[in-house]
Amino acid sequence: MTTLGDAWAWLGDPAHWAGEDGIGHRLAQHLVLTVVCLLLSCLVALPVALVLGHLGKGGALAVNLSNAGRAVPTFAVLVLLLLTPVGRWEQGPTVVALVLFAVPPLLTNAYVGMRGVDRGVVQAARGMGMTGWQLLWRVEAPLALPLIMSGVRVAAVQLVATATLAALAGGGGLGRIITAGFNLASTPQVVAGAVLVAAFALVVEGLFEAAERLAPGRARRRGRAR
Amino acid sequence: MTPPDDCLARNEWICGTYLSTRRHILLDAVLQHLELTAVSVLTALAVALPLALVARRWRLAAGPVLGLTTVLYTIPSLAMFSLLLPVYGLSASLVVAGLVLYSLTLLVRNILAGLRAVPEETRQAARGMGYGPFRLLLAVELPLALPAAMAGLRIATVSAVSLVTVGAIVGFGGLGNLIYAGMNTYFKAQVLTASVLCVVIAVAADVLLLGVQRLLTPWTRAARA
């Protein structure tokens, strides 16, 4: 228990909150990285998934991408990117890796959601004379919303984890507190950093959970594909 | 004397000389990687099965078991390893413990889903034939839950292969150690070779488990044919 006490004392020290390497700055970095990359990944993945799901094409791609995303180690991708020209821009490897690992769950869930829309509803909408775009926007996308949102949730949690790992490859964010702790052989700092990261991840997951409960009934999740 | 002008000196991504001169280092790293993965996944399996049975038997236990494993799964890998540092120190046990905690979620969820999907009529038929609760579990329920459980095991194994690399932070990361060292020295061939080997191990493990699943559940193939 003394380690936890030491970690708590480390967190309580105002000197550790200020400055470039302080908790405040790292927390802000982590938040900005997560939010910006989540938006970027949604911009990349969702249009593709919605169109593919609407056309019913590329299902194998959407599903296999998710499996591939699991098999490729995040850490390896971060280091590979660091050694390529992308590494010259400080946050380059982090941003690219974050987007790469957030896209598969977004794409797979949105695609599965679009394909899962009741075919009878789709045919009824066609019978009412809806064009392809109207069908996509007004019928399929709203009905697929629960699964799309659960994809966003999985992606967000994945982003927080990847942003933490980025610290190993010189990126910013809360993970830097942990890696600095390892370099200083300071167990209290390592544990304090880990507690911050874990709390951050759980808050993100909690926010999505709360949003889901507050959402109107039809937007709620019925199942999750990963 | 002029330095040798080979792909190592030029620091190229793909380098045959690297493969031939560092064979032993690569082999050691691969073995450590396999060992860490296998020990973690097997331990997780041994813990997950009783947990899933408990969660199925007592409805009240299901919520906390699933909730706790989900919380564990949400914690980023680097933080998980760091939180275990005071308990295990800089050791291989730390990496194994972290990986076990991750695999638990996937395994418990899938085994539980598999057990719950066993049709009630099948259970009643077995009871009617005089099967006791223990024999019912071993001879009827577990085999029927196998496809779902194996799906969880495959995902858990592939994830574990990829997460072992993070163990490099405490010096026990299998191929991750080579990636970490290669990053600090800008050694491109080492980083790329180790990364590719990681993916190869993950894919091979997945295919192997798929083969095991087919061997263990011959009836699923017969049903499809």
Q: What gap in Å lies between CA A108 and CA A144, rounded to an integer?
A: 12
**Cβ separation A165–B166 shorter than 8 A:** yes
Residue A223 has pLDDT above 50, yes or no: no
DSSP B131: -
> Distance, in angstroms, between A137 CA and closest chain B CA?
32
> Quick check: B179 and B14 in contact, CB under 8 A?
no
For A71, the closest of B80, B158, B183 (CB atoms) is B158
Q: How far is CA A89 from CA A66, A81, A83, A167, in A?
A: 28, 11, 11, 15
Establish if B203 touches chain A: CB-CB under 8 angstroms: yes
> Quick check: A175 and A197 in contact, CB under 8 A?
yes
Residue A19 has pLDDT above 70, yes or no: yes
> Which ipTM score applies to this complex?
0.85
C-alpha neighbours within 13 Å on the C-beta side of residue A123: 3
**Whole-number mean pLDDT of chain B?**
88
Cβ burial of B207 (10 Å; 0-12, 13-18, 19+) is exposed
Contacting residues of B for A181, CB less than 8 Å apart: 82
> Distance, in angstroms, between B110 CA and closest chain A CA?
13
Cβ burial of B181 (10 Å; 0-12, 13-18, 19+) is middle
Q: How far is CA B38 from CA A54, B35, B95, B209, in A?
A: 41, 5, 12, 12
With bands split at pLDDT 50, 70 and 90, how would you rate the model's confidence at A152? very high
pLDDT in tens, B72-131: 888 888 889 888 888 898 888 899 999 999 899 889 999 999 999 999 999 999 999 999
Q: What gap in Å lies between CA A96 and CA A169, rounded to an integer?
A: 13
Q: Which residue in B82, B84, B102, B201 has the most chain A C-beta atoms within 10 A of its own C-beta, making it the best mutation to test that interface?
A: B82
pLDDT in tens, A195-222: 999 999 999 999 988 888 887 665 555 5
With bands split at pLDDT 50, 70 and 90, how would you rate the model's confidence at B225? low
State the pLDDT at residue B224: 59
pLDDT in tens, A74-126: 889 988 988 888 777 778 888 998 999 999 999 999 999 999 888 999 899 99
For B79, the closest of A70, A72, A194 (CB atoms) is A194
Establish if B156 touches chain A: CB-CB under 8 angstroms: no
C-alpha neighbours within 13 Å on the C-beta side of residue B194: 36
- Where are the domains positioned within chain A? 2-219
> Quick check: B29 and B178 in contact, CB under 8 A?
yes
Q: What gap in Å lies between CA A168 and CA A23, rounded to an integer?
A: 17
CATH number given to A2-219: 1.10.3720.10
Give the N- to C-terminal CA distance of chain A in Å, as an integer.
37
> Distance, in angstroms, between A79 CA and closest chain B CA?
6
State the pLDDT at residue A224: 45
Cβ-Cβ contacts under 8 Å between A and B: the total is 122
Contacting residues of B for A171, CB less than 8 Å apart: none
DSSP A120: H
Establish if B46 touches chain A: CB-CB under 8 angstroms: no
Establish if B198 touches chain A: CB-CB under 8 angstroms: yes
Residue B2 has pLDDT above 70, yes or no: no
**Considering only CA atoms, which of A115, A97, A143 is closest in space to residue A49?**
A115
Residue B211 has pLDDT above 90, yes or no: yes
Question: How big is the CA angle at B47 (ends B42 and B52), to the nearest 5 degrees?
Answer: 120
State the pLDDT at residue A62: 79
Residue A2 has pLDDT above 70, yes or no: yes
> Quick check: B49 and B111 in contact, CB under 8 A?
yes
Residue at B106: amino acid letter: L
**Cβ separation B195–A73 shorter than 8 A:** yes
**Cβ separation A191–B188 shorter than 8 A:** no
Residue at B193: amino acid letter: T
Q: What gap in Å lies between CA A30 and CA A23, rounded to an integer?
A: 10
State the pLDDT at residue A85: 81
Fold (topology level) of B16-224: MetI-like fold (1.10.3720)
Residue B171 has pLDDT above 70, yes or no: yes
**Considering only CA atoms, which of B5, B10, B23 is closest in space to residue B178?**
B23
For B191, the closest of A80, A187, A198 (CB atoms) is A80
- Where are the domains positioned within chain B? 16-224
Contacting residues of B for A79, CB less than 8 Å apart: 179-180, 182-183, 191, 195
With bands split at pLDDT 50, 70 and 90, how would you rate the model's confidence at B68? confident
Q: Which residues contact B29 (CB under 8 A, 6 or more apart)?
A: B174, B175, B177, B178, B194, B197
Q: Which residue in B15, B68, B73, B78 has the most chain A C-beta atoms within 10 A of its own C-beta, making it the best mutation to test that interface?
A: B78
What percentage of residues in chain A have a pLDDT greater than 90? 31
Establish if B8 touches chain A: CB-CB under 8 angstroms: no
* Helices B142-164, A59-71: inter-axial angle, 10-degree rounding: 60
Q: Which residue in A75, A165, A191 has the most chain B C-beta atoms within 10 A of its own C-beta, making it the best mutation to test that interface?
A: A75
